[in-house]
Each structure stands twice: as C-alpha cells, then as structure tokens.
A and B are shown apart, each in its own frame.
Chain A
Amino acid sequence: MSVLRDLFTIVLVSAGAVFFLAGTAGLLRFPDPLTRLHALTKADNLGLGLIVIGLLPQADGILAGLKLVVVWLLAQLAGAAATRLVARATGRPG
C-alpha cells in the first residue's frame, strides 16, 4: 500500500515538474508577452495542481491535505489575476 502511494506521488509530481519545465521553456522561447503568459499559466495551474494531488497521499491528516489544496486554489486565483493584469499592461486592446 505504501509502495503504491509513493508510486502515485512520484508519477504525479514528476508530471507536474514536466509542466513546469515546459512552461519555463515556453516563457524563454515564445516570441511575445501573450504567448509567454499562455505558457506560464500552464505551469501555474496544471503543474502545481498535479504536484499538489501527488503530495496529497503524503500529507499527514486531512487538515494538512486541505491546506495543500487551499495553496493550489490561492495560487490559481493570484496567477489568473496577475496574468490578466500583465496581459492588459502589454497595451493590447481588450
């Protein structure tokens, strides 16, 4: 059971790390601010989400797990708002 749990964590956290890597690559390689933001939000939302889900089985207690989920939700909220503000600051109409 414990092995299965660790395997679950390893697979999901690795998948999350891949999203962060891809997001960073996009941030560095994409040509303009809007596409870069697009790459960044994938790392923020999916990458962090996968890492949080992967860490859930390792959390000690329901409360610690809930805290992890709240961290993800807050990061989503802040990330989405910041992305929109940066996008607007690029000066495109919208």
Chain B
Amino acid sequence: MSVGPALDAGLALLASALAVWVVLARQAFGAVVGFVAFGLVLSLAWLRLGAVDVALTEAAIGSGVTGAVLLAAVTRLHCARPVVAAARCGRRTRAISIASAGLVSAGLAALVLSPTDPAPTLAPQAAAALPELGVGNAITGILLAYRSVDTLLEKIVLLLALAGIWSLARDGAWGDRPAPPGSGRRDGTLTLLGQVLPPLGIVAGIYIVWVGADAPGGAFQGGAILAAMWILALMARLADPPVVGRIGVRLAVGIGPIVFLAIGFAGFALPGGFLSYPAGFAKPLIIVIEVALTFSIAVVLGLLVLGPSARGTQR
C-alpha cells in the first residue's frame, strides 16, 4: 500500500484547509457548508485510522445533525432583525485568543508527535473482560459498561440542550408546535424524497443500532439516521411538527434516560452498585438500554433541529 501515505496526507491537508475556511469565511452560510464538508473529511480520516464507530458518529452527528442545526440557526439569523449590534472584538482580544488557541494546538501537537513508547493504554484489560458482557463490539461494551455514567450524562446533556432551545420560545408559543423546517412550500421533489427515503432510512437506522452490539454502529448513529428521516418527512410536509408540550412528546424525549437510570438504580438492589449489571444479564440489559436510548436520541435530535416553539407558523 504505497497509496496510503499520500491519501492520508491529502486528507490531512484537506481537513486543515477546510478548517481554515470555516474560520475565515465571510458569511455564516459558507462557513456552515465548509463545516459540513470538514466533518465528512474528518470521518474519512477516522476511517483511515480504523475507528469506524467514530467515523459513523462524526458523519451522522458532527457533520449531519450539527450541520442541520447550524443551517437552521443561520436561516433564523437572516430572518431576524438584529437586536444588538454584533460585537467587534478589539485587536488585543484577537491577539490573546490567537495566542491561546495556538498554545493549545502546539501542546496537542507536541503530545501527538512525541508519544511514549509503549503508549499508555488500558485496551488489553478492557478487551479481556468483554466476553463477560456478551457484546462483540468493544466500543459499545465500553460505552455501556465501563463508561456508562459518561454515556448517561451525554444523554442528559442532550436534554439540557433541548431545554435551552425550547426556552427560546416566546411566552405565547410555549409548548406549541415548532415551525416546520424548510422553505414552507410544498414541493413535488421533496414529497417524492420524503416518501421513498424514510422506509430505507428507518431500516438502515434500526440495523445500525442492532449491529452496534457486534459491529460498528450504535444508539447515537442509528438515532441520528432516524432523526434525519423524521426531519425529511417534516420538510416534505408529510407530517406536522409535534406539539412539544404534550405528555407523549415529553415521555418520548425522556424514556431513554429514564430506562437507563432505572436500570442503573436497580443495580444497587441486585448486583450491588449504580449501573452494574447482574451476571448473565449484561447483554439483554444493554440492548434494552440501547433501544430506549435510540428512540429518545432520534426524537431529541429531531426536536433540536426543529428549534423553539413558534405560533402562527403552521400552514
């Protein structure tokens, strides 16, 4: 494989160039487009490193959902009248931020370029205990067994983000439907896409969650695909955004963390510790958690893209 290094160098150059473009772009829209392209290049780089799970997450979340949220924000900014004049930072602030960012980059570069030999790793110990969990994919095993508190808190962070976005709604619109995404016009092309793609996408999303136990995939990646299908159907006006104040919506948003927490607390009673799984039941419990999390993640990601409730926007 003599092509490998050239390909890696090309990816690294492309990623750096795109990152510079995102920072320097004059217009927010161009910067967001650059950011999405940057995410895709980055996921290719993760693939080259053999981290397929990370690559999938980067493509689905880092590039896809975040890109959609940023695009929605840019559109909203264009529509809104400026309330305060955009703050211009002075020369000194700029110099300080450039210097501190450069320092962080230099520190990271120094760490990466001078690794200790052998690099410190817990991978062998982690891999040794995986068979007990019955989960073939090491990433899923680690996320839901060793690092389950982290994984749980990630979901809570998603809920906080959603609460933050919802709280931007005007008082009169609180708990109402968010504005439908997109231009607001019905369009034959979008209708076709919204009818043809979701069946395929839903199967793909569920498949990615299911294989997540034994192969690259998992709740976040699958949930992002499901959320994308939902947004597509909403854009094509094949469905209406939900009334977010309804108890069903709140339950859908919370069911993943609730199930996770319930199983976590049950760990106190049975095997004797928060989030510890009883022997022999690790795999089924992990699957129950994954399914509940996927559902909530899909709903939350979709609602994040939809934005705050708005009144008088339904057509």
Contact = CB atoms under 8 A, between A and B. Distances in A.
A91 to B, nearest CB: 12
A63 to B, nearest CB: 13
Contacts of B196: 77
B189 A84 contact: yes
Nearest to B201: A74
A85 B190 contact: yes
Q: How large is the interface on B (under 10, 10 to 19, 20 to 34, 35 or more residues)?
A: under 10
B190 A74 contact: no
Q: How large is the interface on A (under 10, 10 to 19, 20 to 34, 35 or more residues)?
A: under 10
A25 interface: no
Contacts of A77: 193, 196-197
A81 B196 CA distance: 11
B187 interface: yes
A77 B199 CA distance: 14
Interface in B161-196: 183, 187, 189-190, 192-193, 196
A29 interface: no
Interface in A38-94: 74, 77-78, 81, 84-85, 88-89
Given A77-B197, A81-B193, 14 more contacts: A74-B200, A77-B193, A77-B196, A78-B197, A81-B189, A81-B190, A81-B192, A84-B189, A85-B187, A85-B189, A85-B190, A88-B187, A88-B189, A89-B183
Interface of A: 74, 77-78, 81, 84-85, 88-89
11 contacts: A77-B193, A77-B196, A77-B197, A78-B197, A81-B192, A81-B193, A85-B187, A85-B189, A85-B190, A88-B189, A89-B183
Interface of B: 183, 187, 189-190, 192-193, 196-197, 200
